[in-house]
Structure 1
């Protein structure tokens, strides 16, 4: 309570506080609760804690994202949360050994979700089930059924305990879970389309790396946006936005397929039956850092994020679409809609139906409506043979 009394007195007479050389360190649960209520209703301007909450921090993606966030000066407090059995407390203790100014907190168990989210500026929802071998071509709908309760629970908690925070949804499939989170917040009347984003950083990063490897340019000096959605049937890389001169269409077709099938390619190539958790975790952390820089430093550009558009008629007549954007003090401040060539326009038209179907699936679960498959949905991924598992050399019979 002392720090709030101090702030209150400073507004009237700073000399009243100058003689106070003590601070009350005696506290109880009741006093702590009153302290938080005072923070909420006190008219004295409050200083943002610059806090990021990583929900699902015990997962592979959450651990890697937390590692990079621990190194960022713009993040002063990193709250890591996960369910029991994920070892998030051990991970947080490990990260606490890194000599950076970012403080680390660990919360494990549903009863501590409120404390993890309280006063957060950005909430990263990650973790959950990913597409794993031998089912590399598992439909996004099946993955959503495994992850929807996780996203739903966190969305309800965010609406109750940190409605002011910017929420970045990374749990796959992002198309469905973004809609689930947004419509859940609408039910609690705390939804702000400028402050709910679907993380599409990994697709934009992959597209930029592939593009620069072909053209021989520096990836740090260019961006390759990925629009429409985040799923394998909805992501549309815009390679025409790059400055590459004469770029053969055959290479565009090949690169587009590589971006759309990147998840399957990685899970087939890696011999330890994992996805690209390193690149996904890094891209998610960079996504969050860009948001924090926009909130507390200067407007920051994000390569691609799934958001509700301010003017759908300017965004290919799509109300919800992944596009580049700029984040400022209050959230999204500008939407950058790239121009498309004929090939990209055709691919976008083919992908709209799948995005609408995924968004509708997430909406139906949030509001309780019955879900029906889109009449025009035709994206079909043929079943593949199970991924081969590498057998250790010592177990092979000679």
Structure 2
């Protein structure tokens, strides 16, 4: 029996109002089609994990092909679904997914999301350790992308201020917090449990918004005309208000400090290259 079926059976014992079914992709495309047909939300975490010393971008060659193939299947079997991308590098895999959907003639920018919630989870956890607060009550604004220096926490918007080495250490830990997990696992994988929590949080928010709840705001990496006009990047992570149709409103960065502006400038240079890399792959391989 495929290990995935065992996971499905395990999760299916949880006492929630849901039905859980596992599929065996090793048995071919029919299983993928059956899994995706009529789906409202498709969450894609598939890919190879990082090893010590690797960046998310190092995963590109393998994960780009995986995401491309899954995006093709989704475009064919559930073109109106909300597509949530976790597979790294998100800065490139989201553009790849967009290009696949465009080629299929079913692209809806309001329904494609790069899940960056983990950056906010980490930023909130780490600031609570400096300020001795309850991390559950923290919500640090994080913008940009989802890799290294493209991750920009905006402490000033949460009323916090760190200086000198404390600020530098905090920024580095938020941007490269995933490395802690990779190193702690000794090459046996990267963040999975914290990422699962972040993915579940974003999915739950999307479901609430789809059911009509107002004011549901989550950080996410989306196709953003606002930031294309103001910052020259097609995709950008910022606070986004969710609604029944997906993206309802994209929030601007807002007022930031000179230091945060410097971080954002660095982010934009790298982010533009990440996006172009994903688009180039899709144009050559879709």
Instruction: Name the TM-score, length of structure 1 as normaliser.
Output: 0.67
Which of 256, 270, 274 is equivalent to 1:340?
256
Q: In the alignment, does 2:98 pair up with 1:186?
A: no
Give 1:108 deviation, angstroms.
1.1
- Matched-pair contact (CA < 8 Å) for 1:308–1:321: yes
Q: In the alignment, does 2:36 pair up with 1:117?
A: yes
Match of 1:153 in 2: 69
> In 1, distance between residues paired with 2:69 and 2:55?
23
Match of 1:280 in 2: 195
Compared with structure 1, are the counterparts of its residues 93 and 300 closer, same or farther at alpha carbon in structure 2 (3 Å cutoff)? farther
Q: In the alignment, does 2:253 pair up with 1:356?
A: no
Give 1:202 deviation, angstroms.
0.9
- Matched-pair contact (CA < 8 Å) for 1:315–1:321: no
Q: In the alignment, does 2:173 pair up with 1:232?
A: no
Q: In the alignment, does 2:85 pair up with 1:166?
A: no
> In 1, distance between residues paired with 2:8 and 2:132?
39
Helix, strand or coil at the partner of 1:104: coil
Q: How does 1:90-109 map to 2 (within 5 A)?
A: 90-109=6-25
Question: Which gives a bigger RCO, structure 1 or 2 (Cα 8 Å, sep 6+)?
Answer: 2
Deviates most, 203-212 or 266-275: 266-275
Give 1:316 deviation, angstroms.
3.7
Match of 2:56 in 1: 140
Compared with structure 1, are the counterparts of its residues 315 and 278 closer, same or farther at alpha carbon in structure 2 (3 Å cutoff)? farther
> In 1, distance between residues paired with 2:13 and 2:227?
47
> In 1, distance between residues paired with 2:196 and 2:218?
16
Helix, strand or coil at the partner of 2:108: coil
5+ residue gaps in structure 2?
none
Which of 90, 102, 125 is equivalent to 1:209?
125
Q: In the alignment, does 2:166 pair up with 1:251?
A: yes
Give 1:104 deviation, angstroms.
0.7
Helix, strand or coil at the partner of 1:237: strand
Which of 290, 294, 297 is equivalent to 2:209?
294
Flag the structure with larger Rg. 1
> In 1, distance between residues paired with 2:164 and 2:234?
30
Match of 2:115 in 1: 199
- Matched-pair contact (CA < 8 Å) for 2:149–2:263: no
The runs of 4+ residues in structure 1 deviating greater than 4 Å are: none
Give 1:272 deviation, angstroms.
7.4
Kindly provide the CA deviation profile for residues 290-334 of structure 1, in whole angstroms up to 9, marking residues without a partner as x: 111111141353432111113236754433111011110111111
Deviates most, 120-129 or 295-304: 295-304
- Matched-pair contact (CA < 8 Å) for 1:301–1:324: no
- Matched-pair contact (CA < 8 Å) for 1:224–1:242: yes
Instruction: Name the TM-score, length of structure 2 as normaliser.
Output: 0.91
Q: Give the number of aligned pairs.
A: 281
> In 2, distance between residues paired with 1:315 and 1:295?
29
> In 2, distance between residues paired with 1:206 and 1:259?
6
- Matched-pair contact (CA < 8 Å) for 1:314–1:337: no
Helix, strand or coil at the partner of 1:311: helix
5+ residue gaps in structure 1?
1-83, 370-398
Give 1:265 deviation, angstroms.
2.0
